[in-house]
Structures are given as structure tokens and as C-alpha cells.
Structure 1
Amino acid sequence: MMSICVTDLFIYPVKSLRGIRLERAQLDIRGLEDDRRWMIIDDNNKFVTQRRLPTMALVQTQLTDSHLILKSAHGECAIAREYAGKGAPFSAVIWGDNVQVLDEGDAVSAWLSEALNEKNSGEQHVNEKNVTRQKKWRLVRLANQPRPMSKPQYLGEQTHTVFADMAPLLMANQASLDALNAALAAKGETPVPMNRFRPNIVITGLAAFAEHKLAGLMGQGYNIRFGYPCERCVMPSIDQMTAEKHPSMEPYITLRSINSMPAYGKGESAKPANPKAAAFGENAYLAQAQSCLVLVGDKFQVLHDAS
């Protein structure tokens, strides 16, 4: 087996918007620095992703020392990294969690609503005067109260996330993508890039889907534990450059046929295999309290025992 190596690092400052490729990133128990620190909510204060609004894939993100910059065909929108609003914290919902958030304001909401509604004609509703209008979307950040811990039985007692679905990190294996693309090509389908799966850390040096059999990886001065395989949804069927969905749900259908969800967990937390679901990547976390620096080119050794 060749050495296991980090080949790519990605963060997604706003949940479900386009990500940023990095050469180095600080990692702590919440994940990579600046990853999923903002999210978009609807008028029911519920989180929104590409599953519902595919055009989120078209909005680019950029970080400067002072601002988050959003870019689309409608121009740019700048949000101060230090909260500049005067709003009070309020409750929003992400999956099963109620979190306290701060709103980034009406001007940001107006910009987002224009950028995201262009192709999402289904996201409309009729008011009391029977006038159809586009929905409004709002950008929020976490307030001072932390998000409740998700799945500590798999992701560690000290782990926290901001607006990631469940785990602080998503680790992906390049060989697994290569195997998927070979299977797609054999069916006459177009291969897909890694951005369909929105990983944080991409590695080489493992056989395809071997990541599901490991407890984690040991780096230089830090360990990353694997919690459980990432069960995929329809999002990989969305082209991240065009926001178009594949009409036959590829690559999801092919992925499910070659790598369905394996069994995971132990004892009362054990989950059986699910052949009706597809897996890609590992939900993971930093197994230490102190932060560390992760760089493209970092080498890993296999961690077989998570105890």
C-alpha cells in the first residue's frame, strides 16, 4: 500500500454554498476553521440546503481577514466576519437541533433571495391577495450558545459542530471516487468530480472504500477518528457548476450498487448494513482537545483500534 496522504482540503463557509480549496487549515473539535459557520434559513427558521435549492451551488464564497464575500451572477455581497448586526439571538432548526442564531440583516437577505430564486421557480407562495411572490431566504450565524452535540456515541464526547449536518469532518478517499467513476463509465455515464460529495479532507493511499474498515488515521501530532460511513442523499446528483440535477439520480444509483451503507457501531449503538442506501466518505472528528494544523501533503498511518 502506498503512503496515505492529504491531497485536498476544502471548507464551505456557508452551508450548501460553493466551497473554498485550501493548502492548510486549522482543525479543532468543531472541524476545520471557518467551515459551515453560516447557514441559510427559510421563513419558518428552518435550514435550507441544495436538496431543496440546487441554485445554492452557484453562489461562490470567499474569505478575507475581515469579511465573508458571496458572489453570483447578481454581483457580490460582503458580510463582516465579526458580527455587525444589532439583532437578538433567536431559534432556528437544523435537522433535529434547535440552535440559537443571529441574523445577518435585510440587505443580505434581499441579495440572497435574488441570487437563489432565479431557477427555483417552485419556491414561491401565494399571499392573501393571491399574488405570487418568491420566497425570502436569510443568512444566519451561530450565537454564543453552542449547538447541541450530535451523536456522541459515534463522534466523541467532546465533539461539537456548527452547521455541518452531523460530523465536524467529512473524509473522502480518492480511490473510492475513481472506483465510482469507473462504474459510471461502464454504464455510459459521465464521471463526476469530487466536489459532488463536498468533503473536507481528501486522501490517497487507501484502496477503494477501505476507509469504512478503519478506526481512523494518525497524523503528525494529531489523530482523526472515523465515526461512521456517510450515508449519501440526492445532493451528489446536482452538478456543482450548473445546479442541474441528473435525470436518473446518478451517481447515487451507481454508488448504491457498488458501495451500499455497511454496518457500523458497537453494542447498543450498532447499526445494521442498509443495501438500499449509498455510502461515500467517513464522518470523522479530531480525537483531542487541542487544535492542530492540517496541510495538503500531510502523511497518515492507519489507526485500526479506536479504543
Structure 2
Amino acid sequence: MRIAELNIYPVKSLSGITLERATLGVRGLAYDRHWMVVDQVGRFITQRQMPGMARVTVRLERDALVLEHPEAQPLVIALERRDQPRLTAYVWDDTCQALDEGEEASRWLTAVLGDLRGSALRLVRFDDEHRRPVDSRYLKEEEAYTAFADGFPFLVASTASLEALNRELQQKGLVPLPMNRFRPNVVIEGSLAFAEDGWSEVAAREGHYRFGLRKPCQRCKIITIDQSSGAIDVPGEPLQTLIQMKTQPLRPGAYFGQNATLLEGAAQTIGVGDELLVS
């Protein structure tokens, strides 16, 4: 087996960036979910509430985060700035310390996305001094932390699982879907469909990094949103098909991919084409 694809999503729920190589960190691939859109009281906002977030594209330059939208001039945010006002942000039940990227970013996001129930939008950056632990109920004696991801620093998926899902969709007369519907970080090829649900660890054959697969990823309405247009072309799909496939027979709901932690390899490089071992 090998790595087929690497992706980061610097701003939670905005478009992703596909990479050939990335630096591993305890909180995820470098810059993954390092920023987040919040409302005026700091609650996280995603495509669940605002599907149009998918249309905001993201670039990382040498010294800047750049957000782009067809209806606005690009927004440029300095990568290394750390003097912003601090505020409290909320991801599900977790409280996070964050840095507010300011009024220009707030005006830009609100202009291109609209307000949310009367609340202007703000862009916040994860405070590197803050530690947001992964729920210990899912860990196996390791410590794990994440930034603004829903709950885990990495999401692992496989090309074979997507192919199996697409076969089911095509039998219903629906078009096959790209992997970006599922917003994974690490995509693996060369396995059987949904084999990842039985793995405990994935490691580089060369031994310089090792992931722990800790929790099946239950999917939400975001996977029904076309990540290029922000549109929902077929309401309820592929959620309904995944539920019917019972990829997790003992769990109700739709599941695709595995949430993971980094067991070994912080500051190491991971790359497309890396050979993998699983256990």
C-alpha cells in the first residue's frame, strides 16, 4: 500500500489544498485546520450552516495565507503574526484559545458569505500555546492533541472505499463522487474497500512515522455538498447510500474513513508515494 494523496484544509470548512509532501505535527499536517470561521461569540461555523464556504479557495504562500472568492479581491493574512487580540472559540463542546485576525478579515468573510442569523463572521487562528486534547476515551495510552478539526488531528481514507461507494451510487443512477467530498488528510491506495476500519496502526515502511487509527468517522451533511460549487445536487446523498452499506455494522449512521492520531514522527515529512505497513 502507498499514500495516494495528501490534503490540508488551513481554514476549517473552506477549500482544501492538495500537497505532494507535508510536515507532520502532533496537531495534524502543518497548517491543517489552523484557522476557523466563527460568529460574534466565537462559535465555529462550517459548511453545515453555510455551504457556500466551499467556494472560498485557500492558498499558502511563503509568508501568507490567501483566501480567494469570485466576488472579491483576495484576503491576505500574515502567516507568522502573533500579536492579535486573544479570544475564546468553541468547537463542539471544546473551548479553544484563539487569535482574532481582525476587522478586515471579518468584513471580507461576511461580504462573500453573508452573515449567519444576523451575526457577522470572524476569522480566528489557533493559539499555538493552547493544547486541545483528543477525547481520551478513544486513545490507547497515547496523548493526542488537535487544532480546529472536529475531534482528531488526522483523517485517513482509502481509494478502494471510495470506489466501492461509487459503485453503489452508480447502481442508483447517480454520478460517482471525488474524494474531496470527504475532506481526508491522508488517502491510501492498494487496500481492500473499508479495510481501514480494521486497522489499528498505519506506519511508513521506512519507519519514520506511525499513525494510530482510533475512531470511525461518522459523516454529516457536508458530504452532500459539491466542494467546487457549494451546491447540494442530490439531497441526502451519499449519506443515505453509506447508511445502507452499513460500513460500521454495529453503529447507526453513515461512516467513511478513520480518525487518527500521530504515534511517532512529529516534524518528519510524509509524502505521496510513501510505502505503508498496517497492523
**TM beyond 0.5:** yes
Moved more, 229-238 or 289-298: 289-298
Q: Does 1:195 align with 2:195?
A: no
Residues 84 and 101 of structure 2 are in contact (CA less than 8 Å); yes or no, is this contact kept in structure 1? no
2:133 alignment partner in structure 1: 149
1:268 alignment partner in structure 2: none
2:209 alignment partner in structure 1: 222
Superposed displacement of residue 289, structure 1:
6.1
Superposed displacement of residue 162, structure 1:
0.6
Cα deviation 1:111-169 (Å, max 9, x = unaligned): 1111112xx8xx443xxxxxxxxx31000012243243121232453211011111110
Moved more, 225-234 or 78-87: 78-87
Q: Does 1:239 align with 2:226?
A: yes
Q: Does 1:293 align with 2:276?
A: no
Cα deviation 1:165-214 (Å, max 9, x = unaligned): 11110001000000000000000111111000000010111110111011
Residues 223 and 238 of structure 2 are in contact (CA less than 8 Å); yes or no, is this contact kept in structure 1? yes
Which amino acid is the alignment partner of residue 216 of structure 2? P
Cα distance, 1:92–1:170 mapped onto 2, change above 3 Å = same
Of 29, 42, 46 in structure 2, the residue corresponding to residue 45 of structure 1 is 42
Of 230, 234, 238 in structure 2, the residue corresponding to residue 251 of structure 1 is 238
Residues 155 and 284 of structure 1 are in contact (CA less than 8 Å); yes or no, is this contact kept in structure 2? no
Q: Does 1:35 align with 2:32?
A: yes
Superposed displacement of residue 82, structure 1:
1.4
Residues 155 and 167 of structure 1 are in contact (CA less than 8 Å); yes or no, is this contact kept in structure 2? no
Which amino acid is the alignment partner of residue 49 of structure 2? R
Q: Does 1:104 align with 2:88?
A: no
Q: How is 1:109-128 mapped onto 2 (pairs within 5 angstroms)?
A: 109-117=106-114, 123-125=116-118
Superposed displacement of residue 109, structure 1:
0.6
Kindly, what percent of the aligned residue pairs are identical? 41
Moved more, 212-221 or 198-207: 212-221
Residues 209 and 265 of structure 2 are in contact (CA less than 8 Å); yes or no, is this contact kept in structure 1? no
SS at match of 2:80: coil
Residues 67 and 75 of structure 2 are in contact (CA less than 8 Å); yes or no, is this contact kept in structure 1? yes
Q: Report the Cα distance in structure 1 between the residues aligned to 2:198 and 2:73, rounded to whole angstroms.
A: 45
2:163 alignment partner in structure 1: 178
Runs ≥4 in structure 1, deviation > 4 angstroms? none
CA RMSD across the alignment:
1.5
Q: Report the Cα distance in structure 1 between the residues aligned to 2:24 and 2:82, rounded to whole angstroms.
A: 26
1:267 alignment partner in structure 2: none
Q: Report the Cα distance in structure 1 between the residues aligned to 2:165 and 2:192, rounded to whole angstroms.
A: 12
SS at match of 1:17: coil
Which amino acid is the alignment partner of residue 135 of structure 2? K
SS at match of 1:212: helix
State which structure, 1 or 2, has the greater radius of gyration over its C-alpha atoms. 1
2:77 alignment partner in structure 1: 79
Superposed displacement of residue 57, structure 1:
0.2
1:139 alignment partner in structure 2: 123
Q: In structure 1, list runs of 5 or more residues that go unmatched.
A: 126-134, 263-272
Q: Report the Cα distance in structure 1 between the residues aligned to 2:181 and 2:146, rounded to whole angstroms.
A: 21
Which amino acid is the alignment partner of residue 79 of structure 1? I
Which amino acid is the alignment partner of residue 173 of structure 1? S
Q: TM-score, normalised by structure 1?
A: 0.86
Residues 194 and 247 of structure 2 are in contact (CA less than 8 Å); yes or no, is this contact kept in structure 1? no
2:66 alignment partner in structure 1: 69
1:17 alignment partner in structure 2: 14
1:167 alignment partner in structure 2: 152
Superposed displacement of residue 101, structure 1:
0.9
1:93 alignment partner in structure 2: 90
Which amino acid is the alignment partner of residue 39 of structure 2? D
Q: Report the Cα distance in structure 1 between the residues aligned to 2:160 and 2:109, rounded to whole angstroms.
A: 36
2:255 alignment partner in structure 1: 279
Number of aligned pairs?
Answer: 275
Residues 172 and 201 of structure 1 are in contact (CA less than 8 Å); yes or no, is this contact kept in structure 2? yes
Of 55, 59, 80 in structure 1, the residue corresponding to residue 52 of structure 2 is 55
SS at match of 2:146: coil
Q: Report the Cα distance in structure 1 between the residues aligned to 2:240 and 2:87, rounded to whole angstroms.
A: 39
Q: Report the Cα distance in structure 1 between the residues aligned to 2:135 and 2:84, rounded to whole angstroms.
A: 33
Q: Report the Cα distance in structure 2 between the residues aligned to 1:8 and 1:278, rounded to whole angstroms.
A: 23
Q: TM-score, normalised by structure 2?
A: 0.94
